Structure 1
Amino acid sequence: MEYAKTYTVRWADLDPNIHMRHSAYTDYAAHTRVQFLAEQGFTMARFAQLGIGPILFREDTRFLKEVGLGETIRVTAELSGLNEDGSRWNIVHAIYKEDGRLAATVTVEGAWLDLRARKLAVPPAEISAVMNSISRHASYQDIVRTPREA
C-alpha cells in the first residue's frame, strides 16, 4: 500500500525566487513520515511512553521541478531499506506536482534512539511491524551492517 499525503504550498514555504524553498521539501517529507507513524498509533506521546524516537543520519534532496504558491503537492513515503532487527531504515519520499510530474525526491537514512540512554536502539516489535508495512520503493535493499558499524 502506498502511503501519501496531500498539501497546499503556503506563502511561508516560498523563497525569494518565488518558488518552494529547499527546506520546505524536507519539512513536507518529515511531516509525512510523522503522520504515517501517528496514524499507526505512534504519536509523539506514544514514543515518549516507549522511551524511543526516530532520528536521521542523512537526508538527500533532489530537485526536479519548481513548485509554486498555492500548488497542491502529493508526498509519498516508501521503504528503501531496513535491517534485520528493524533498528535502521531508509525511506524515499517522492514529491509530485498536481499534474503528476515528479518535483523532487527526499531520501533519508534513519534509526531509533533510546531517549533515556541517548544511544541507538532496537525498536519494539510493534514498531518493526509498522515499518515493515510501508510499501517498498523500487530501490529497496536490505540494510546489512558490517561488524564495524555494530
Structure 2
Amino acid sequence: MNKLIEQQIETLVEPLVSEKGLELVNVEYVKEGAHWYLRLYIDKEGGVDMDDCTDVSHAVSEMLDTKNPIPQAYMLEVSSPGLERPLKKEEDFKRFQGSLVMVHTLSQFQGFKKFSGTLVGLINDEIVLEYENKRVAIPRDLVKKTHLLLDF
C-alpha cells in the first residue's frame, strides 16, 4: 500500500516540482513509531537550499490538502537527497555513469546482497557495475535500492 501511495504522490507532485525548475528524486511514505512521514527529496544542478525546500513544501502541502490522497495524518518533509542520493529513474543511471554506487538486492544474487562498484549503466533492464576489473549485471527486478557512494 505504501508503494501505491508513493506512486500516486509522485504523479501528483512531479509536475509541480518540475515547474519550479527542480527534480523530484524520490518519494517515501513510511511509518516510524506512531507517526507517518511523507518525504520528498528534491534536487537541481548545484544542489537545493532551504528556500527551495520551503517553497516546494508550501506548494505541495496546499495541493495535497486539496486533493487529500492520503487517508491518515502524516508529516511532510522536503529535503535534498544528500550526497548518497538514490538512483531510481533511467535518467539517473545515465547521468551518474562512471560514479561509485552501492546496489542492495532483495535476496542473494551470485552469493551477495550488496554490490559496490563503478556504474557502467542500465543495460537491458540490468544494473551493470564494474569492480575489481570484473563486470556484474544485476537484474533490476532483484534490486531493493541503488545509491551513490562517497569516494574518499
Q: If the length of structure 2 is used for normalisation, what is the TM-score? A: 0.29
Q: TM-score, normalising length from structure 1?
A: 0.29
Higher relative contact order (CA 8 A, sep 6+): 1
